[in-house]
Chains A and B, each alone.
Chain A
């Protein structure tokens, strides 16, 4: 199971990458895509939407099940990877290249609750 060391993680299986401009890029982990199985539908939030940490803001559906994707921090959605709508199975093939959305964190947003690769690995029993 791939867990890149340079990323941060949530217990709900999102990965988070901090970009040079301070925005956060978010996707789902290899563990998450493997558990979901073949992904056939993705619904993403619209750019400009304000979100709070822990909000269910996107949906991924596999053949087996529907799964909510949560905002790891509070802030504003600045971009969504709408190209995934046509090819949702990209997330199965390359979960760390297939970002879902980008958030500009609110001024008081905290990244302290995010896990590092080792902590995430432990949380999924690796």
Chain B
């Protein structure tokens, strides 16, 4: 067995008695105490996640915009204001998803991406290959010297400003999916992005690895509750946000994974994977499910890979869990085209077929339940 990788906050997690798990080769906190308490802290106040296993990669060079026009499925020309961010899939030539990522625009010769931990090496190799083949002449720099803390919840920004008062003026008025960089703070050079993976307001803070523990402790002193990957999963599921490797991968089209909104087929731009996507079209619907209760009780918990039986054929749950906010079992499912919100399907749990309602995603946003039976 290869040795697990550690983030710069590893010792801090152990000091908090976190339950640690192997998450794609990284030794990461799944919960510190009750993961449901951590979930509610993010929905109602403020929680923070160590996401330093994710990789920041900087792209420098005159042709960086042209590079991303080729490399990613979303339209990078939406990025014109410095600090603006864009969520996109990175596709292979078959139209399968190599990764999902966020691209930040800083200047015409400097873009930044943040990619998933488990795919980082593969992505960097792919970027290098596209850069060489297209002769873009970019320098591509993985920033293992940087850590990331996601501070999320209705009070997350306020508590961040208590710790970083000098960032308030510049970040108070930025809209979601925008970032500001601060070259010099007590915690070194920071990037504060109004992004996240929970469906709540907040910041993702990119901070030098050397300063992240001090920042973590300062946030904790302001009452920001450490939250693990367990709560991160229930929060992102409620928020209708996909998880790479579970809801989509190299063998799944973004058009069959609820990500059509991120794929730019409107402009004539020829990006990697476009022709395959257009030839393939959309073959499935990606929907939310809520397990129905009988006598006030659900018959189990929806989980990934359970079979979904519909009148139009079988589908499959890609992610499922118990929703602490809704007190219901919820899931994402890939189902045959024609199965739509409002329909009833049946999920096979331990050889029983249990009824579930098909709903539109997301389930929860900004503390409010949006989906209903």
Contacts and interface: CB of A to CB of B under 8 A. Distances in A.
Contact of B298 (A41, A59, A63): A41
Interface in A20-78: 34, 37-38, 40-41, 43, 59, 61, 63-64, 66
Interface string B337-373: 0000000000000100000000000000000000000
Interface stretch (B30-38, B80-88, B164-172, B262-270): B30-38
A59 B299 CA distance: 11
Contacts of A86: 297
B259 interface: no
B350 A41 contact: no
B322 A41 contact: yes
B230 interface: yes
B35 A38 contact: yes
Contacts of A34: 19
Given A37-B230, A41-B322, A59-B350, A66 B34 contact: no
Interface in B39-72: none
A21 to B, nearest CB: 31
B118 interface: no
A40 B297 contact: no
B234 interface: yes
Interface residues of B, number: 18
A31 to B, nearest CB: 12
A64 B19 CA distance: 13
Residue of A38, A41, A66, A92 with most partner-chain B CB within 10 A: A38
The B contact surface, by secondary structure, is mixed
A63 B300 contact: no
A63 B36 contact: yes
B301 interface: yes
A43 B299 CA distance: 8
A63 B324 contact: yes
A109 interface: no
A61 B35 contact: no
A52 B29 CA distance: 38
Contacts of A63: 35-36, 230, 234, 301, 321-322, 324
Contact of B300 (A41, A64, A92): A41
Contact of A43 (B19, B300, B321): B300
A35 to B, nearest CB: 8
A57 to B, nearest CB: 12
The A contact surface, by secondary structure, is mixed
A86 B19 CA distance: 27
Residue of A40, A43, A59 with most partner-chain B CB within 10 A: A40
B301 A66 contact: yes
B300 A59 contact: yes
A16 B238 CA distance: 38
Interface string B144-171: 0000000000000000000000000000
B13 interface: no
B31 A40 contact: no
Given A37-B230, A59-B300, A85-B297, A64 B350 contact: no
A6 to B, nearest CB: 28
Contacts of B298: 41
B303 A64 contact: no
Contacts of B19: 34, 37
Nearest to B322: A40
Given A63-B324, A64-B230, A41 B31 contact: no
A64 B30 contact: yes
B35 to A, nearest CB: 6
Contacts of A43: 299-300
B35 A37 contact: yes
Contact of A66 (B36, B230, B300, B324): B300
A63 B326 CA distance: 13
22 contacts: A34-B19, A37-B19, A37-B31, A37-B34, A37-B35, A37-B230, A38-B35, A40-B322, A41-B298, A41-B322, A43-B299, A61-B300, A61-B301, A63-B35, A63-B230, A63-B234, A63-B321, A63-B322, A63-B324, A64-B35, A64-B230, A92-B34
Given A37-B19, A38-B36, A66-B301, 7 more contacts: A37-B34, A41-B301, A43-B300, A59-B300, A63-B36, A63-B301, A64-B35
Closest 4 CB pairs of A and B: A40-B322, A61-B301, A38-B36, A63-B322
